[in-house]
Structure 1
Amino acid sequence: MKTKRLVLDTKKPLGNPSGLKMAEGVTLLLSIAVEYKVAPNLLSTGNYTALAYPFLVNIIPLGYPCWKWINLHIINYKIYKRLMETVKSFV
């Protein structure tokens, strides 16, 4: 049986954070722009559930960093803890 191998990239633990920040920023600005345009009309008609739809677009760029954190700190906690102890022993 193969053992899991977890590699900790200390320089970029979440992959490419600049790309994630850019994707999240673009979708956040887009959702705010859509809200700004449609919110007065939706509030006057009483359609409050439609106000949440543009913010649901932000689940995609926010999901990856959250999944990485859950994967490291909850699912592979024992491996991550041993790896962090090894890294701290070199410091």
Structure 2
Amino acid sequence: MSTSTEPQIYYVNNGDGSFSRIVSDSGVAPTLSESAEFITEGEYTAQLATMQQEHADRVAAAEAAQQQAAKDDYDALIASGLPAGTARRLSGYTPPED
């Protein structure tokens, strides 16, 4: 007859800017690297939310920069005398409708 241990969840700050959620049913806490430490679920959740927000901010900034570059290209193409439709296709920019 086998006995199973209820899964235990451990939250870890890995000490390198990353965080882990470890599920173990061995009944023994995992061995951590020297720089890692156990943290609470609340600390893990807060850090995860912070990391997700920072990622979303970086994605938004990259998208805004890409959109601005496309607009700059569009403006330059229009200034060079190209028709608006051609400038839109070449630059990938769609100006807002008036």
- What is the TM-score normalised by the length of structure 1? 0.37
Going by fraction, where is helix more abundant, 1 or 2? 1
Going by fraction, where is strand more abundant, 1 or 2? 2
Higher CA-based Rg: 2
**Bigger RCO of structures 1 and 2 (CA < 8 A, at least 6 apart):** 1
- What is the TM-score normalised by the length of structure 2? 0.34
